[in-house]
Amino acid sequence: MYNVREINKDTWWLGASDRRIQLFENTHPVPNGMSYNNFIIMDEKTCLLDGVDESVSRQFEENLAHVLNGRTLDYLVIDHMEPDHCAVIPDLVQRWPNLKLVGTPKTFDLIRQFHGFDPEPHAIKVKEGDTLSLGRHTLQFVLAPMVHWPEVMVTFDQLTGTLFSADAFGGFGAIGGAIFADEVDWERDWADEARRYYANIVGKYGPQVASLLKKVSKLDIKEIAPLHAHIWRRDFDQILSLYAKWAAYEPEDNSVVIYYGSIYGGTANAADILSVKLAEAGVHNVRVYDVSKTSVSELVSQAFRSPTLVFASATYNMGIFDGMRELLEDLAAHAMKNRTVGVIYNGSWAPQAGHLMLDAIQKMKGMEILDPHVHVTSVVDGSALEELDALAAAIVKKLGK
Ligand SMILES: Cc1cc2nc3c(=O)[nH]c(=O)nc-3n(C[C@H](O)[C@H](O)[C@H](O)COP(=O)(O)O)c2cc1C
Ligand SMILES: [Fe+2]
Ligand SMILES: [Fe+2]
């Protein structure tokens, strides 16, 4: 049975959630599932804005049939040609042979690759600022290359002020009927998953996000409708101010995140001791993560939030312990920069983790590595304790406590 909601004049949400999915992109844990939004404008012409993932395609078909109510589908605007939004394109084209597909030139290359048919007879290729009239509604296209794929654009409805924002402003997690951010306690329940989504999916492309934010700031936006999670119709600053920070790799608070990779517990002990010293010195929100336990998806997200990152690792076969190596590689891959960093390393005979971590961190831009680099030999002893004291003092000084 159909399950739709009107979100604005002539405009309907046709999305659905997948609560069975375990890993989004087969890598990011989504314990609360995933939502896939898409929209339709019913004007003199009918226009669908993006498709959905295969997992919710049956629900989408019922929703579409209900809202179309026997009318023909005239346009499909493709803001983002990634499979989690485009699984339904071949079906739509088959069903409506005269359907026009609207996208950037790169969109059509990707359709050819993913779906193996020639989209040219259906293609309306748009560039920055082009418009499409549906009757009362005029759609304006704003290109957003590499947010986070090359073909991406966002679409602005000049009549309702709705910005269809593709993956930008999205989040992890299935949503229920409360599809608007003002219908939930967004800050309490959803901000963390919006951050984790941004950090992992879009986080590598801060400059491109900043450029998109600048372009859309000129539009008179009344509603922001992303392809995942909630639609915004007020308090835009809540999400926009976070995006401005994340895009600039600016931390959100004055906290410390301590990541440790430990086999037998010696390095974990050092991390915990440091956390107590920091909390005692008045640092708010000290968080400690075991990199073997917490998914790298969450670890990367925390690095976007916090200005101070401490990496603590045992040496493992002349290298950095597994989870820590993956975390450092992932942070570099997401272009993490401009953080204050502490290093704790451990080894029983050749403690290579120390200089290997320093090498990895120095490859990231604007990382200020504090002294001392704490050296633990098997377990924390008096000398390591003194170094932990000194590192805590350096962090506290840096945070201006
Ligand atoms: C499989 C394995 C490989 C290791 N390789 C090294 C090494 O190359 N160099 C070294 O100094 N210690 C090595 N160690 C020892 C640990 O790094 C060392 O005992 C450390 O104190 C463990 O810290 P933890 O208590 O936090 O696990 C290795 C340990 C294991 C289990
Ligand atoms: Fe995407
Ligand atoms: Fe997506």
Going from the C-alpha of 81 to that of each of 27, 33, 102, 174, the distances in angstroms are 20, 21, 11, 21
Q: How many C-beta neighbours within 10 Å does residue 131 have?
A: 11
pTM over 0.75: yes
Take atom 30 of ligand 1 and give the residue whose Cα is closest: 316
Residue of minimum CA distance from atom 12 in ligand 1: 347
| 383 CA from centroid of ligand 3 (Å) | 50
Q: Using alpha carbons, select from 156, 185, 184 the residue that is nearest to residue 168.
A: 156
Judge if the beta carbon of residue 347 lies within 6 A of ligand 1: yes
| Residues whose Cβ atom is located within 5 A of ion ligand 2 | 82, 167
Distance (angstroms) between ligand 2 centre and the Cα of 82 equals 6
Tell me the best of 269, 322, 344, 346 to mutate to test the pocket of ligand 1, counting ligand atoms within 8 Å of each CB and taking the most: 346
pLDDT in tens, 234-273: 999 999 999 999 999 999 999 999 999 999 999 999 999 9
Confidence of residue 401 (pLDDT cuts 50, 70, 90): confident
Q: Is 323 in the pocket of ligand 1 (CB under 6 A)?
A: no
What is the per-residue pLDDT for 310? 99
Beta pairing, strands 100-103 & 123-125: parallel
Average pLDDT over residues 273-284: 98
For ligand 1, say whether the CB of 113 is within 6 Å of any of its atoms.
no
Residue 156 has pLDDT above 90, yes or no: yes
Does residue 72 register a pLDDT over 90?
yes
Q: Which pLDDT score is estimated for 267?
A: 98
What is the reported pLDDT for 198?
97
CB atoms within 10 A of CB 322: 15
Please give the radius of gyration of the chain, using alpha carbons only, rounded to the nearest integer.
24
Q: Is the pLDDT of residue 114 over 90?
A: yes
| pLDDT at res. 102 | 98
Whether the per-residue pLDDT at 137 is higher than 80: the answer is yes
Instruction: Evaluate: CB of 1 within 6 angstroms of ligand 1.
Output: no
Look up residue 268 and give its two tokens: 């974990």
User: Can you give the length of the chain in residues?
Assistant: 401
d(CA 94, CA 132): 23
Distance of CA 285 to the CA centre of its chain: 22
- 99 has pLDDT over 80: yes
Rounded distance between C-alpha atoms, residue 24 and residue 172, angstroms: 8
One-letter identity of residue 56: V
Residue 222 is predicted with a pLDDT of 97
pLDDT of 252: 97
Does ligand 1 come within 6 angstroms of the Cβ of 316? yes
Mean pLDDT on 182-203: 97
Q: Is the CB of 346 under 6 A from ligand 1?
A: yes
Nearest of 133, 200, 173, 168 to residue 17 by alpha carbon: 173
Of all protein residues, whose CA lies closest to atom 9 belonging to ligand 1? 350
Average pLDDT, stretch 275-283?
98
User: What is the distance in A from the centroid of ligand 2 to the CA of 175?
Assistant: 18
Q: pLDDT tier at 170 (50, 70, 90 boundaries)?
A: very high
